[in-house]
């Protein structure tokens, strides 16, 4: 949750999915909040009422990190909205490890939904009774909160007291004792009821225990990466899968943490190979296509 994307412009990911049915329109709007943030949208150009899918990017990412899935969902008959989580984005990362990340992200996700549903043009396209969400890494945390989970912020320090030597992503030396930084006592997590189904990928989920997940009652699909060295499966996705109110098997895919990002451009592969270059035998484009089809199938059954 703390590194990797900072030097990168957001326009360096490329779609990897083939066209489906609908021609797609793109739009950029600004959230109607005191500190406005951008929201990217993809939606069918054909008039109608469509389900809405909210995509929450990972820490230090952007609204274009999952552009292939966004376009594929839109071609398949969904409105897709992807906010840029300022305070935890590539261009504004100063909130990491604080309430700006842990509370601010869900508040931004709620504000993104409010903005889309109130937008003069978009509200004519969205069926407000069919809203789903997809989240990766810190976006997985965000998605779980929007699905009803409640984090226990004390668990961060407890996790690091047990695993600091093994988990330098969440427990950086000399810093973890001060995490998370919670300074905004007036900020509260949203009590969101509009999300009806969600997909969570490599979630940053050390803050959730069985009690904190007890109100997650919506349809949920989980993914993990077999060689994830950042949000390690044993402490994150595999652990929460075992304590959710309803069984949710983890769909494991080959590769490391960033296999869930869209394939990189040639420029990005050169500037940030740690984001882009997968181990031998891992075909990120094929994995992206498979997951894209699974997203369409999952939301088609649950929304």
Backbone φ, ψ for residue 164 (5° rounding): -60, -35
Which residues in 31-78 belong to E strands, given as ranges? 38-44, 50-56
User: What pLDDT is attached to residue 11?
Assistant: 41
Domain map (residue ranges) of the chain: 24-302
Residue 6 clears pLDDT 60, i.e. is over it: no
User: What pLDDT is attached to residue 247?
Assistant: 83
- Tens-digit pLDDT profile for residues 140-192: 999 999 999 999 999 999 999 999 999 999 999 988 999 999 999 999 999 99
Residue 129 clears pLDDT 60, i.e. is over it: yes
pLDDT mean across residues, the chain: 93
Give the Cα separation of 57 and 135 in Å (integer). Answer: 6
Give the Cα separation of 47 and 79 in Å (integer). Answer: 11
User: What pLDDT is attached to residue 115?
Assistant: 97
Residue 273: CB atoms within 10 A of its CB come to 10
Residue 86: CB atoms within 10 A of its CB come to 21
Residue 116 clears pLDDT 80, i.e. is over it: yes
Give the Cα separation of 263 and 284 in Å (integer). Answer: 7
Mean pLDDT on 248-263: 96
Residue 19 clears pLDDT 90, i.e. is over it: no
Residue 7 clears pLDDT 70, i.e. is over it: no
- Tens-digit pLDDT profile for residues 43-81: 999 999 999 999 999 999 999 999 999 999 999 999 999
Give the Cα separation of 229 and 166 in Å (integer). Answer: 10
Q: Is residue 107 within 8 Å of residue 164, measured between CB atoms? A: no
User: What pLDDT is attached to residue 34?
Assistant: 83
Q: Which residue has the tokens 């609908």?
A: 22
Least confident range from 14-18, 102-106, 165-169, 285-289: namely: 14-18
- pLDDT > 90 fraction of the chain, expressed in percent and rounded: 87
Residue 3 clears pLDDT 60, i.e. is over it: no
User: What pLDDT is attached to residue 4?
Assistant: 38
Nearest CA among 230, 201, 202, 196 for reference residue 216: 196
Assigned architecture for domain 24-302: 3-Layer(aba) Sandwich (3.40)
Query: Strand, coil or helix: what is 131?
Result: strand
């Amino acid at each position: 949750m703390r590194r990797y994307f900072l030097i990168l412009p957001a326009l360096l990911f490329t779609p990897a999915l083939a066209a489906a049915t609908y021609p797609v329109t793109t739009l950029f709007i600004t959230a109607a909040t005191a500190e406005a943030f951008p929201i990217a949208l993809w939606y069918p150009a054909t008039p109608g009422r469509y389900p809405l899918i909210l995509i929450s990017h990972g820490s230090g990412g952007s609204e274009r990190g999952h552009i292939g899935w966004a376009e594929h969902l839109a071609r398949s008959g969904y409105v897709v909205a992807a906010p840029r989580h300022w305070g935890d984005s590539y261009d504004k990362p100063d909130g990491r490890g604080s309430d700006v990340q842990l509370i601010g992200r869900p508040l931004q996700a709620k504000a993104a939904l409010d903005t889309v549903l109130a937008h003069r043009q978009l509200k004519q396209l969205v069926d407000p009774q069919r809203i789903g969400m997809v989240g990766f890494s810190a976006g997985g945390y965000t998605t779980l909160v929007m699905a009803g989970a409640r984090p226990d912020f004390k668990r961060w320090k407890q996790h690091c007291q047990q695993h600091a030597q093994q988990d330098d992503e969440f427990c950086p030396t000399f810093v973890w004792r001060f995490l998370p930084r919670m300074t905004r006592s007036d900020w509260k997590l949203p009590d969101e009821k509009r999300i009806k189904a969600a997909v969570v990928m490599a979630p940053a989920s050390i803050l959730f225990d069985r009690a904190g997940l007890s109100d997650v009652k919506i349809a949920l699909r989980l993914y993990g990466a077999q060689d994830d060295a950042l949000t390690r499966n044993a402490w994150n996705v595999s652990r929460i899968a075992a304590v959710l109110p309803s069984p949710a098997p983890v769909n494991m895919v080959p590769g490391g943490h960033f296999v869930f990002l869209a394939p990189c451009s040639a420029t990005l592969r050169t500037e940030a190979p740690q984001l882009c270059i997968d181990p031998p035998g891992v075909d990120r484009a094929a994995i992206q296509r498979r997951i894209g089809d699974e997203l369409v199938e999952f939301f088609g059954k649950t929304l």
